Chains A and B, each alone.
Chain A
Amino acid sequence: MNGHDPGSLPEVTPEQYSSSDNAAADCGSNNPIGDTVTPCGRGPVSSRPCDLDEITLSEIAGSRTAGYHVFNGRFVADSPTSKRGIRLFDVETSLPKEAKLQVVGDRPGAQSPTKILASVSAAATCGPTHVAVVVNPPPGQSEIDHVTPALVQDTFTFEASRSESANAAVALFERYIAWGIQPAAYLVSATSCGIRPGGTPKTRGTLTAEVFPADQYQLSLSVPAMGKVSYTRERTTVSSGETTDTSTAEAQLGSDTATVTDTTDTATGITVTDEDIKTVPQKLQFEFKHNGQSGDDITVNINNLLRILSSAQEAVKAIKDVLHEWVPQVGFKFEFDLSFLAGQIVMAWGYKEYTDWRVYYGLSAKFSLTFFEISLTFSFGIQIPAFVARVEGTVNDSAALETDFNFNSPDMLIAPSVKTTVDIPASVSGRAEAGVGWLSVSVELGVRTGFSGEVGLRTKSTTVELYAEIKWEGIDAFVQTKDSPNRGTQEGVWHLVDEKSIWDGVVAF
C-alpha cells in the first residue's frame, strides 16, 4: 500500500510530504474524534506568539584553525584538530538560512573519528523542550537528538563518517584517488520553540554537513632503465665455401640480463626470441602509503605496477621488431641501449580542508623521468649503385621530463599536462670499400637516421597517463660527390629502411 517495502527508502520528497501533511491537517478539527466533523480545507492553524523570527545555522569560522602545506610530498596539517564547528544563531537575518559545511572524515568505526561540534546560543532557547537539535545521518546510521536546556549556552558533538566508493577501481591511482567518491551528507536541524501545544513549528534552520574521505595517499616509484638490446650478425665463409651465419641477441632489463644465442645455417632471417624481454626488473622500487602506513593491499598495487611495466616492455619489443624486419645486404652489428620510462615519480593526494572552509582535492606530484633514451651503435655494409661501403657510428640522445605539480587550493583545477618533443637526428659517415669512381675528386658517404616524436604526461578522467609517440626515422644512405673543385657538391640519396613507429601508446597509472 505504502509504495515501498519495509526497510526501503520511500520515494516521497520532503515537499510532497509537507503538502500532504498540510492537507491532512486541514481535514478535521482540533476537537476529539466523534465530537464534530469539520470539513476538510478550513485553512492553516495559526502560529503561537512564542515563535522566533528566524533561526539560522552557520559555521564558527574562528574555530577553523587547521591549514595544510606540502612537506616531503605529503600534506601536513599546520595545527591538527579533530573538531569542526556549527553555530546556531537565534535571530541573525544576515546569515543564510541554509548553509553547507564541508569537512573531511574517516571511515565508520575509526579510532579517531572526525567530530562535528554543534553550539547552541542561550538566546535561542525558550523552554524545556527546545532548542531541539536533530542530526539526520546517511542511511545506516542512527539519528541523533539533542535538546538544549533553557537559557544555557550549550554544545554537543557527533561523529561524522566519510562515504565509501561504490565502484570497483580499475587503474592504480583510480583505486585510491577518490575523485569519484561523493561526500556523505549529515542534515543538521534546530528548532527554537520545539513542540508547542498547537500549530506547526516554524522556527527552525537546517544545515548540511558534507563529509569527504580524509584518506591521504603517497606513492613513490623508481623505475630502472629498461631494455638494453644488442644484436650482432656476422657472416663467415670458410675455405670449403660453406657459409655460417651467427646471430646473437642480448637484452637487459634493469640489472637482469638474458642472453640468447642462435646459430643457423640459413642465410636469411634473424633469430631473436622474446625470452630476453620477459625478465622483471630487479631494482624496481615501489612504495605506496595510505595515511602514512605502508602495506595497504600491496598485492594489488604490485600487480598494477607490473601491468604498467609490461607496457614498457612491449615498447622494447617493438623496437627489436623494427630491427628484425631489416636484413642488410652484407652483415651488420647493431647494438643499442634503451631506457624507457626510467626515473622517479613521487605523488601525494587526498581531500583537504582549505582555510575558507571549502574542501578541495589536493595533488602534489614530482616527475623526474627519462621517457626515452637511446644509444645506438651500428656497423654494417651498404650496397648502393656504384658503391659498396661500410658505415660505423653511434647515435645517442634522450627525451627527459622533470616537472612538479602542486594543486593545493580549491580553485585549482587538477589537470596536469606537460609534454616534450623527441628529436634525435643523426648522420654517420661511412667509408667506401669498392666502386668509387676514379673521376671523383672527393666522396662523402654515410647514412642518416634518427628518432622523433612526442612524450608527455596528462590526466584523463581519474587516471594519470604517461604517453609517447616515438618514431624511428628509418635509414637513408647518401653519397656526396664533387668531381671538380669548381663545381658544387652533388648528393645521391638511397632509402634503405622505412620509417617505423616505435611506440605509440599510453601507460595509465
Chain B
Amino acid sequence: MQALGRSLRKRFIEELMARFTALWPKQTSQLGNGYRHFMESTVERAMSYGIETESAAARFINLYFVWGPQFETRPEHTWALRILNDANLSGQAKIDDLAFRTKLRLQAMQVNRRHTP
C-alpha cells in the first residue's frame, strides 16, 4: 500500500512537471536537473502547511513560480506565512486566500508601476 502511494505520488510529480514546464518554461529551464527535487520539496512544504490535496498543492507550487521559492519566509511576504500558519483555515481555504491576495498584490503593483513616471 505504501509502495502504491509512492508510485502515485511520483506520477503526480511528473504530471506537475509537465504542466509547469508548459506554464513557466523559462523558470523550469533555469532549475535544470534540480527541477524534480524542487517539485518534490515544494509538495512536502505544502503538506507541512496543511495543503494536502493535489489541486491545492499544484496551486501552491504555482505561487513559488510567481514570488520565488519559499517566498513565505521572506519579510515582505509575512502575509502569506500568517495565512499558512493559521490553524483555523483548511488547506483549501489557505490556498484560496493566498491566490486571491497574490492576484490583488499583482494588480496593485501593476497600477503603481503604470503610475510611476
Number of A-B contacts (CB under 8 A): 183
Residues in B whose Cβ lies below 8 Å from that of A191: 100
Question: Smallest CB–CB gap between A191 and chain B, Å?
Answer: 7
> In the assembly, what is the distance between CA of A35 and CA of B8, in Å?
7
> In the assembly, what is the distance between CA of A165 and CA of B117, in Å?
8
State which residues 12-47 of B face A: CB under 8 Å.
12, 15-16, 18-20, 23-24, 26-27, 30-31, 38, 43, 47
> Is B53 located at the chain interface by the 8 A CB criterion?
yes
Question: Smallest CB–CB gap between A313 and chain B, Å?
Answer: 35
Residues in A whose Cβ lies below 8 Å from that of B116: 166, 182
Stretch at the interface among A25-33, A449-457, A474-482: A25-33
Question: Smallest CB–CB gap between B96 and chain A, Å?
Answer: 6
> Is B84 located at the chain interface by the 8 A CB criterion?
no
Task: Tell me which of A24, A199, A201 contacts B59 (CB under 8 A).
Answer: A24
Residues in A whose Cβ lies below 8 Å from that of B5: 34-35
> Is B87 located at the chain interface by the 8 A CB criterion?
no
Q: Are B103 and A18 in contact (CB under 8 A)?
A: yes
State which residues 6-22 of A face B: CB under 8 Å.
6-7, 9-10, 12-14, 17-18, 20-21
Query: Known contacts A2-B65, A134-B104: does B96 contact A34 (CB below 8 Å)?
Result: no
> Is A304 located at the chain interface by the 8 A CB criterion?
no
Residues in B whose Cβ lies below 8 Å from that of A34: 5-6, 8-9, 12
Q: Are B106 and A10 in contact (CB under 8 A)?
A: yes
> Is A36 located at the chain interface by the 8 A CB criterion?
yes
Nearest A residue (CB) for B65: A2
Question: Smallest CB–CB gap between B95 and chain A, Å?
Answer: 9
Q: Are B90 and A31 in contact (CB under 8 A)?
A: no
Q: Are A24 and B104 in contact (CB under 8 A)?
A: no
Question: Smallest CB–CB gap between A371 and chain B, Å?
Answer: 35
* Contact string against A for B residues 41-72, beta-carbon threshold 8 Å, 1 for contact and 0 otherwise: 00100010000111111110110111111010
> In the assembly, what is the distance between CA of A131 and CA of B104, in Å?
16
Stretch at the interface among A137-145, A346-354, A417-425: A137-145
Please report the total number of A residues contacting B with Cβ < 8 Å: 66
Question: Smallest CB–CB gap between B25 and chain A, Å?
Answer: 11
> In the assembly, what is the distance between CA of A195 and CA of B56, in Å?
14
Q: Are A6 and B68 in contact (CB under 8 A)?
A: yes
Query: Known contacts A21-B99, A24-B62: does B108 contact A36 (CB below 8 Å)?
Result: no
Q: Are A27 and B19 in contact (CB under 8 A)?
A: yes
Nearest B residue (CB) for A208: B111
* Contact string against B for A residues 342-361, beta-carbon threshold 8 Å, 1 for contact and 0 otherwise: 00000000000000000000
Per DSSP, are chain A's interface residues mostly helix, strand or loop, or mixed?
Answer: loop
Per DSSP, are chain B's interface residues mostly helix, strand or loop, or mixed?
Answer: helix
Residues in B whose Cβ lies below 8 Å from that of A13: 106, 110
> In the assembly, what is the distance between CA of A28 and CA of B55, in Å?
5
> In the assembly, what is the distance between CA of A18 and CA of B102, in Å?
9
> In the assembly, what is the distance between CA of A4 and CA of B69, in Å?
11
Q: Are B54 and A30 in contact (CB under 8 A)?
A: yes
Q: Are B16 and A27 in contact (CB under 8 A)?
A: yes
Q: Are A12 and B106 in contact (CB under 8 A)?
A: yes
Q: Are A187 and B107 in contact (CB under 8 A)?
A: yes
Question: Smallest CB–CB gap between B71 and chain A, Å?
Answer: 8
Residues in B whose Cβ lies below 8 Å from that of A62: none
Residues in A whose Cβ lies below 8 Å from that of B76: 7
Residue from B15, B43, B66, B117 having most chain A Cβ neighbours under 10 A: B66
> Is A125 located at the chain interface by the 8 A CB criterion?
no
Q: Are A201 and B111 in contact (CB under 8 A)?
A: no
> In the assembly, what is the distance between CA of A310 and CA of B13, in Å?
75
Q: Are A30 and B12 in contact (CB under 8 A)?
A: no
Q: Are B8 and A37 in contact (CB under 8 A)?
A: yes
Q: Are A20 and B23 in contact (CB under 8 A)?
A: yes
State which residues 122-170 of A face B: CB under 8 Å.
134, 136-139, 143, 145, 163, 165-167
> Is A206 located at the chain interface by the 8 A CB criterion?
yes
Residues in A whose Cβ lies below 8 Å from that of B97: 195
Query: Known contacts A27-B16, A39-B15: does B115 contact A163 (CB below 8 Å)?
Result: yes
Residues in B whose Cβ lies below 8 Å from that of A35: 5, 8
Question: Smallest CB–CB gap between B15 and chain A, Å?
Answer: 6
Question: Smallest CB–CB gap between B108 and chain A, Å?
Answer: 4
Residues in B whose Cβ lies below 8 Å from that of A284: none
Question: Smallest CB–CB gap between B48 and chain A, Å?
Answer: 12
Nearest B residue (CB) for A182: B115
A sample of 10 more A-B contacts (CB under 8 A), given A3-B26, A12-B66, A187-B111, is A1-B65, A10-B66, A10-B106, A13-B110, A24-B20, A24-B61, A30-B55, A166-B116, A185-B108, A195-B89
List 9 A-B pairs, minimum CB-CB distance, nearest first: A28-B54, A136-B108, A2-B68, A24-B62, A34-B5, A195-B93, A187-B108, A24-B58, A185-B111
Q: Give chain B's interface residues, CB within 8 Å of chain A.
A: 5-6, 8-9, 11-12, 15-16, 18-20, 23-24, 26-27, 30-31, 38, 43, 47, 52-59, 61-62, 64-69, 71, 74, 76, 79, 89-90, 92-93, 96-97, 99-113, 115-117
Please list 10 pairs of residues, one from A and one from B, whose beta carbons are closer than 8 Å in the complex, sorted by A's number. Answer: A3-B27, A4-B68, A20-B24, A21-B59, A23-B19, A24-B58, A33-B12, A37-B15, A138-B112, A180-B117
